[in-house]
A and B are shown apart, each in its own frame.
Chain A
Amino acid sequence: MSSLMLLHDLLQDARLLGGREAIVHGERSHTYGDLVRAVEALAGRLAAAGIERGDRVAIYLPKSFEECAAIFAISRADAVFVPVNPSLKPAQVRHILVDCGARVLLSSAPMLSKLEGALDDLGDLQILPCDGDGAEDGPTAPAAKAIGEDLAAILYTSGSTGRPKGVMLSHRNLLAGTRIVRTYLGIGPDERILSVLPFSFDYGLNQLLTAVEQRAALVLCEFRIGDELVRALSRHRITGLAGVPTIWALLTRAAPTLARTPLPRLRYVTNSGGAVPTATVKRLRQLLPDTRIFLMYGLTEAFRSTFLPPEEVDRRPSSIGKAIPECEVFPVTADGRRARPGEPGILVHRGPTVSLGYWNRPEDTARVLRPNPLLPGGRGGDIVCWSGDLVVQDEEGYLTFVARDDGMIKSSGYRISPSEVEEVLMAAGGLREVAVIGLPDEWIGQKVHAVAVADGAPADIPAILREAASKLPVYMVPKAIELVGALPTTPNGKVDYKRLLAERT
């Protein structure tokens, strides 16, 4: 393959391998030829719809061949793709479309019907159907003018406060992430990779990009109980599976067929999106003795950051490992120096996957993307990514996660902003005050828990939860609302989240 600069360059010359299997979904199988044709056809439709360089095109589709094609087609049409997680509720979908100023939304009738008219007043938004029925003999999009430094994608993710923010990734970021992850996982053309995570998640997107880069096959899979996942692994002769802690909990504790299903082709599994409990890692090693386990760590703001080599997993199952290739990762203390071994510090990441910051949020960006603390700009210092995750590094250089330095909740692989949940609970009525925290949970990492003060009359908790469930995706809905007389406060009058948490753990 010649040099790659833009995301859709990953499909360069794929036509020559036209008959090779690219995307498998249920009974449907699509070749690289199909993928290239679908990408060209959709890029042509986007150009005909007036899409120009740098325009944002959102994708709100179920996991499908069409969604895969849309990601490359938007790049091909010189635009920026914004994948929207299909499990989001109308208000969150609307937030993303408004926030990024999307000009076009690629969706389908069944998906649009779930939005209950939430987009009806977005007059500037064009909705283009993307359901596989589009003609393939339409116009051809002009050659893309973007260069590698241009914006390729905006991935929405939550922080500790406010609504989700859009992390801006350049073509170079995405290509570097693809190359780096493919290198350390040793992904080759014969791989059959299972995709169970949403493409709106940088880690989930990576399975698509690494598979396409290598002309490997990507098998799209939805499952509801562990045995269905085991069946997909076996039936599709899967060689690589990327999951979040919830998936390992399901496989090790709720998939009775795993122990009696040989999976000789499953070469590797990877985890990201939160730590896997050591007991689960051990059980996974027993159930999959010939499978290499890669424990990874990353944040969307720097795409991917560290991984623990499989040969270290038995010795240090709670470590997040060391920096991924081409990158440097180290802990920095509050006073701005590199932490000594054993001394906690905020994980700082430098390298080609450091994103371009948050869309339209210069102040938030300045908090996360900062000048290299160890080397001034005038001496060649670069811009690095401040993770907000407290870690320690041991004498051998292995990193271990300690804690977040803020109240952000991590549940089922998702980042959840307490204030976003609080806002919805308050709007439901009946509460005077509410604080949302994450309590440890052996299945999902942290469970969302609300501590609230009722507003006079007894609060109708089921009604509030019902309202929350209609406004929030399932992973954000509190598992319980606990009523108390008053919320503890810090000396300067703010809700004392640390104390709320300490009292309940």
Chain B
Amino acid sequence: MPDGQGSVSAEPALSEAVAFQAIKTFLETGAAGAFAKPIDMNTPLLGSGLDSLSILQLMIFLGEQLHVEIEEPDFVEENFATVGTLATYVVAKRNGR
């Protein structure tokens, strides 16, 4: 299990490409149907048909795959606007912005 914040862990820095790939994998395999279209950094997340349960599943998935736990104050619409904004957030969070 991830140890939550992981700020001083020995894990290598996360790149935006890896974060993007993880989100893309989730959208393609975890919540398909909403995502028949090609996914890029500008693909909207909120407003794409994802419901609260899908967003929650995405969060659990990122926690397990990237060892990033989204902190409560960061559950704001800006961070979930597009695949890109979430990837940027996840990278900043894991690399201790």
Contacts and interface: CB of A to CB of B under 8 A. Distances in A.
Interface of A: 87, 89, 114, 222-229, 246-247, 249-250, 253-256, 412, 441, 443-444, 447, 462, 465-466, 468-470, 474-475, 477, 479-480
B53 interface: yes
Contacts of B5: none
Contact of A225 (B30, B31, B52): B52
B33 to A, nearest CB: 6
Nearest to A413: B53
Contact of A466 (B32, B57, B59, B74): B32
A474 B50 CA distance: 10
Interface string B42-83: 000010001111111101110010000010111111001000
Given A87-B51, A226-B75, A227-B77, A246 B30 contact: no
The 10 closest A-B pairs by CB, nearest first: A469-B32, A465-B29, A254-B75, A256-B73, A466-B29, A470-B32, A224-B52, A474-B54, A474-B31, A224-B46
B53 A412 contact: yes
B28 interface: yes
Interface size class of B (residues with CB under 8 A): 20 to 34
B51 A222 contact: yes
Contact of B33 (A225, A253, A254, A469): A469
Nearest to B79: A225
27 contacts: A87-B51, A114-B33, A222-B51, A223-B52, A224-B52, A225-B55, A225-B80, A226-B52, A227-B76, A228-B77, A246-B53, A253-B72, A254-B56, A256-B75, A256-B76, A412-B53, A443-B59, A444-B56, A462-B28, A466-B28, A468-B29, A469-B30, A469-B33, A470-B32, A477-B29, A477-B31, A479-B30
A441 B60 contact: yes
B46 A475 contact: no
Contacts of B33: 89, 114, 469-470
Question: For the complex, would chain B's binding face be called helix, strand, loop or mixed by DSSP majority?
Answer: helix
Question: Which of A224, A226, A246, A250 is packed against the most chain B CB atoms within 10 Å?
Answer: A224
Contacts of A256: 72-76
Contacts of B51: 87, 222, 224, 474
Contacts of B59: 254, 443
Contacts of A228: 77
Interface in B4-38: 25, 28-33
B75 A479 contact: no
B25 A462 contact: yes
Contacts of B64: 479-480
Question: Which of B30, B46, B59, B80 is packed against the most chain A CB atoms within 10 Å?
Answer: B30
Contacts of B28: 462, 466, 469
B54 A225 contact: no
Contacts of B25: 462
